[in-house]
């Protein structure tokens, strides 16, 4: 879990999510690529920002040990989970 790189899961989630919308008939093949690009870019930026904020909170609060390691991971997790 300590090596969990949440930003690497964002493109896969975007592809799955937008492919499902294609199968449901909510989008067409031409818009699929654009949707994936925009969705991935937005979520990638949000996950990176949330992880950076979690890391900043560790420094500001002076945390050490496990809280210092896990706070950035758990700060970025809701952003990635929202993609599903």
pLDDT, tens only, 26-83 = 888 888 888 888 888 888 788 778 777 877 877 778 777 777 777 777 776 665 555 4
**What global pTM score does this model have?**
0.56
d(CA 68, CA 84): 27
User: 10 Å Cβ neighbour count for 49?
Assistant: 13
**Does residue 2 carry a pLDDT above 60?**
no
Give the side-chain half-sphere CA count within 13 A for 19: 6
């Amino acid at each position: 879990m300590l090596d969990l790189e949440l930003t690497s899961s964002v493109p896969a989630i975007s592809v799955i999510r937008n492919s499902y919308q294609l199968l449901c008939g909510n989008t067409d093949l031409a818009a699929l690529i654009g949707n994936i690009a925009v969705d991935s870019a937005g979520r990638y930026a949000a996950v990176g920002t949330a992880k950076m904020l979690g890391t900043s909170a560790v420094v500001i609060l002076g945390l050490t040990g496990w809280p210092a390691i896990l706070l950035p991971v758990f700060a970025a997790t809701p952003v990635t989970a929202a993609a599903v």
